[in-house]
Each structure stands twice: as C-alpha cells, then as structure tokens.
A and B are shown apart, each in its own frame.
Chain A
Amino acid sequence: MFRFMSGSIRIAAFGLSLMLLPAAAFATQYQLKVDGLACPFCAYGIEKQLTRTDGVKEIEIDINAGTVTVTMAEGARLSREQAKRIVEDAGFTLRNFAELPAAD
C-alpha cells in the first residue's frame, strides 16, 4: 500500500505501522491446564464461565489435552486467582496456569 503514497508520507506510514505491530501482538494468551475435563458438555461449562470474564476475547479448548487457551483483549490480563475461581465454578480443578509467549 505504500507505493501509492509520496516519499515522506510513505516513510511516516511505514514507521507508524512498525509502532503499531507490537501493540497488536500485545493481546496476551494464557494456557490453563484443567483436570476433570472429560466430555464435550463439560467444555461448554468452562467456556461460559470464561465468557463472562471481562477482557476475554477468545477461548480455545482441547478436550483431549485438557487445555483451555484464553486470548485476552488488548491490555487485559488474567490472573491465576481469576483462572482458578473460574475453573472451580465450572466444576473442575486448575492444574497449571501459564502465560504464553507473545506471537512473533
């Protein structure tokens, strides 16, 4: 898209896009290892509890691995205590909680 701009504007736009890239990648991801997840219906219970949490943007569950990957909105964070409460309210046990490294 830069070829349609004049030289100085092109440089400014390119610099601005470089500045914005880290912000876009700032959406943090967490992986929750959940014990007790053993059927599809169980997965929905934990998904609904997470959906009610402020800042949760995306939820991905792998029932075979027993993992729940939570993507937060930009600037939002999820604490281990929050995750533990959410998992317990859904009727399960939080085994492990980890922040995933930011995507390149």
Chain B
Amino acid sequence: MPPLRVEYRPFRCRARRAIAAVFALTAALAGLADTAHAAPETFNTALPVPKGEFIFREQFLYKRASDDPSPADREVEVVGGISVLGYGVSGDLAVFGVVPYLHKSLDVTLSGGERVMRTTTGIGDARLFARYTVFHDDAPGRTFRIAPFAGLEVPTGDDDDSDAQGRLPATLQLGSASWDPFAGVVATYQTLAYEIDAAVSYQINTAGDEFTLGDVARGDASLQYRLWPRRLSGGVPGFLYGVLEANLIYQDRNEIAGTDDPNSGGVTLFLSPGLQYVTRRWVLEAVVQLPAFQDLNGTALEDDFTVRAGFRFNF
C-alpha cells in the first residue's frame, strides 16, 4: 500500500472526526423538533424548530492539526462552511440536512525530503436526519426534552480527487464513498438563566472504495449561561450567553482493504468556550474547540484547535 495513503489516514480520521463531529453534531444535534432554544454550537441535534417553520444555521469553520510525530511532518488545515437546514414537520418531529463546503489542505514532507501541499475543495458528504421528541415537560420559564434522532451520511463528496502527486489519500478526500447510518439521543434542560444539552450518538461507517473509516461514538454536552441581561424585565430582550461545551469522541481504526490502519482512531476530548447572542429572530455564535485530551493510535495526527463562528435564523 502506498506510504502516503497510510500516513494520511490519521488525518482523514481526524478531518472526518472534526467534520463529522461538527457536521454530525450540527446535523445530528440540529434536530430540534418542538421548541427553540439557544442550542449548542458544536452539535446540531438540539436545534429548535416549531411546526411548519424552517431553521437555517451557517457555521464557518477553521481547523488546524499540525503536531505530527512522524517524519512526514504533516500539517492539515480545513477551512469552510457548514450549512444546516431544519424543518418542523410537527411539534415533535423535525428533519434536518447538513451540507459542508470545505477547502482541505495537507502539507507533507515526502520520503525524498520534498515538501508538498495537497489540496481539495468542494462539497463534502451531506448528513440527513430526523429527530422526534418523545418526552417533554414544560413549566413556567423552563423546559425539559428528550429526543432520539437517526440519520444517514450520504456520499455527496468527491472521493476520487487527485493532484500532481496522484490520487489524494482517502482521509483528504471530501467524500467517503459510503452510506453511513447514525443514531443517538439528545436531552435539553432550559431555564431563563441557563441551558444544558447532552447527546450521545454512534455512527457506523460502512465500506467505501477499499477504505472504511472507523465507527464513531461520541458524547456531547453544552452549558449556556445567560450573561446579559442580568435581570429580566418585560418584553423579549436579546440574551448573551457564555458557552462551555465538551465533546468526547471515540473513533475506531480505519480499514484499508480489510486491514486495520494502526495509525488511525483513538479518543479525543474537546473543551470549547464560546459566546452566543440570541434574539427573537436570529442568533450569532462563536466557539473555539480546544483538545483537552487526545489518545490517538500510532502516528495519528493530533488536533491543534478548531474555530466555529456563524449565525442562525428561522423563517
């Protein structure tokens, strides 16, 4: 097997993880069927959508990973946008679509010592999912909801891009060439002062073109605390939330032609401080995902940080 391909697998794993995390989280957690909350920034399964309404979220993404223990000294950057569209089919059922548009670049030192950059740009794999609120308990100024969700990551991204060096490694490709189902459950507790969201999910990554990403299990949590206004009077003022989120992500090893890649998969914990300004019609948000813990296999590339910033509105 070509050395480059093996070396890039960790990146693929990471890119996939980051993208899948953001997208999946965005998409998966975006399933807000019945009510509108502030909502987490690093996952989408908690997005609120009233019946007959649409919600649109756009997140701009910058991600960097450069701490490569191998001689290849890989540096990976991902820049792009993640678009999320949700629709409230009923008060309890919402459907979501998440489409990433990304520019991915890889700086790497080849075996001959030459430093090259390999890039690809375009639409990645889209995620489609539905969320159904099975339990909700409302009281004055607070709400608690539990909603399972399930969906599919579809191979809309190009999985066969190439450059002067040849075909790009699988982990650098925008698409996986596979149909990957995922499912999970999200819970939300919101008061006028704060909101807590928690979600767990699992994604089965099926075989693509001789390459299979490892399955992904993740747990996500988000705390949004109202910083301003400190005291509420009448009307509907805008809320400024301080945000702290955590994403625990486990990814199994990738497979190439049925063989495990020892330099892929592992466990990462992100801690993400951020801000969110919520008004009646729109939301502005920004968050920085910092890897607090990374236990990756072999020479899998570790994340440096990820920045997400964007807006959300319903219509």
Residue pair A39, B142 in contact (C-beta under 8 Å): no
User: Min CB distance, B135 to chain A, in Å?
Assistant: 13
**CB within 8 Å of B: which A19-75 residues:** 33, 35-49, 61-66
Max count, chain B CB within 10 A of own CB: residue among A36, A37, A91? A91
Residue pair B314, A36 in contact (C-beta under 8 Å): no
Which A residues touch B140, using CB under 8 A? 33, 35, 66, 95
User: Min CB distance, A94 to chain B, in Å?
Assistant: 9
Stretch of B4-12, B33-41, B65-73, B288-296 at the chain-chain interface: B33-41
Kindly report which residue of chain A lies nearest to residue B233, judged by CB atoms: A64
Residue pair B52, A89 in contact (C-beta under 8 Å): yes
Which A residues touch B143, using CB under 8 A? 35-36, 38, 92
> Is A78 on the interface with B (CB-CB < 8 A)?
no
Taken together as a complex, chains A and B put the C-alpha atoms of A90 and B53 apart, in Å, by 9
Taken together as a complex, chains A and B put the C-alpha atoms of A59 and B35 apart, in Å, by 19
Residue pair A41, B141 in contact (C-beta under 8 Å): no
> Is B134 on the interface with A (CB-CB < 8 A)?
no
Stretch of B116-124, B275-283, B303-311 at the chain-chain interface: B275-283
Also in contact, A35 and B234, with CB within 8 A (given A45-B314, A91-B35): no
Residue pair B50, A64 in contact (C-beta under 8 Å): no
Which A residues touch B138, using CB under 8 A? 35-36, 92-93
Kindly report which residue of chain B lies nearest to residue A63, judged by CB atoms: B236
Summarize A's interface: helix, strand, loop or mixed: mixed
For B2-26 the 0/1 string (1 means CB < 8 A from A) is 0000000000000000000000000
Taken together as a complex, chains A and B put the C-alpha atoms of A62 and B141 apart, in Å, by 11
Pick from A39, A66, A92: contact of B278, CB below 8 A: A39
**CB within 8 Å of B: which A85-100 residues:** 88-93, 95
> Is B48 on the interface with A (CB-CB < 8 A)?
yes
Residue pair A40, B278 in contact (C-beta under 8 Å): yes
Chain B residue total in the interface (Cβ 8 A): 40
> Is B237 on the interface with A (CB-CB < 8 A)?
yes
> Is B298 on the interface with A (CB-CB < 8 A)?
no
For B249-278 the 0/1 string (1 means CB < 8 A from A) is 000000000000000000000000000001
Chain A residue total in the interface (Cβ 8 A): 29
Max count, chain A CB within 10 A of own CB: residue among B33, B36, B314? B36
Which A residues touch B91, using CB under 8 A? 88-91
Taken together as a complex, chains A and B put the C-alpha atoms of A31 and B141 apart, in Å, by 16
Also in contact, A39 and B195, with CB within 8 A (given A89-B52, A92-B35, A95-B140): yes
Taken together as a complex, chains A and B put the C-alpha atoms of A95 and B138 apart, in Å, by 9
**CB within 8 Å of A: which B28-66 residues:** 33-39, 48, 50-53
Which B residues touch A61, using CB under 8 A? 235-236
Which A residues touch B232, using CB under 8 A? 63-64
Kindly report which residue of chain B lies nearest to residue A33, judged by CB atoms: B140
Kindly report which residue of chain B lies nearest to residue A93, judged by CB atoms: B138
Which B residues touch A46, using CB under 8 A? 50
Which A residues touch B34, using CB under 8 A? 91
Residue pair B52, A39 in contact (C-beta under 8 Å): no
> Is B110 on the interface with A (CB-CB < 8 A)?
no
Also in contact, A36 and B192, with CB within 8 A (given A62-B235, A65-B234): no
Kindly report which residue of chain B lies nearest to residue A48, judged by CB atoms: B53
Which A residues touch B233, using CB under 8 A? 64
Also in contact, A36 and B36, with CB within 8 A (given A63-B235, A64-B233): no
Residue pair A91, B139 in contact (C-beta under 8 Å): no
Residue pair B191, A91 in contact (C-beta under 8 Å): no
> Is B96 on the interface with A (CB-CB < 8 A)?
no
Residue pair A45, B35 in contact (C-beta under 8 Å): yes
Q: Which residues of A contact B (CB under 8 A)?
A: 33, 35-49, 61-66, 88-93, 95
10 contacts across the A-B interface (CB closer than 8 A): A35-B140, A38-B142, A39-B278, A45-B314, A48-B53, A62-B236, A63-B235, A89-B50, A91-B36, A91-B136
- Rank and list the top 4 A-B pairs by shortest CB-CB distance, nearest first: A91-B34, A36-B138, A91-B35, A35-B138
